[in-house]
Amino acid sequence: MLETILLIVSVLIIIMVLLQGNKASDAGQIITGGNETLFQNMKERGAELFISRFTLGLGIAFFLISLILFL
């Protein structure tokens, strides 16, 4: 039962991470010198905020289920 839930949570985490915006390109600009957006206050809104929080919740659920299955 828990193995099935863990599998579902794992697939959902993969999907949610793929749906998130590309934040790695912003971090890459630090090396190349394009850091004009580095210190701007960029807040997530709407769907981005939901996806981030849902991914965090799935990550916590994945950790807890894995811990329970291990013990």
- Side chain identity, residue 55: T
Per-residue pLDDT tens listing for the chain (71 residues) = 999 999 999 999 999 999 887 665 555 555 665 555 555 666 777 888 899 999 999 999 999 999 999 98
Q: What is the four-CA torsion angle of 31, 37, 42, 47, rounded to 10 degrees?
A: -70
Among candidates 22, 21, 39, which has minimal Cα distance to 30? 39
User: Which one-letter amino acid corresponds to residue 43?
Assistant: K
Closest-CA residue to 58 (of 5, 9, 2)? 9
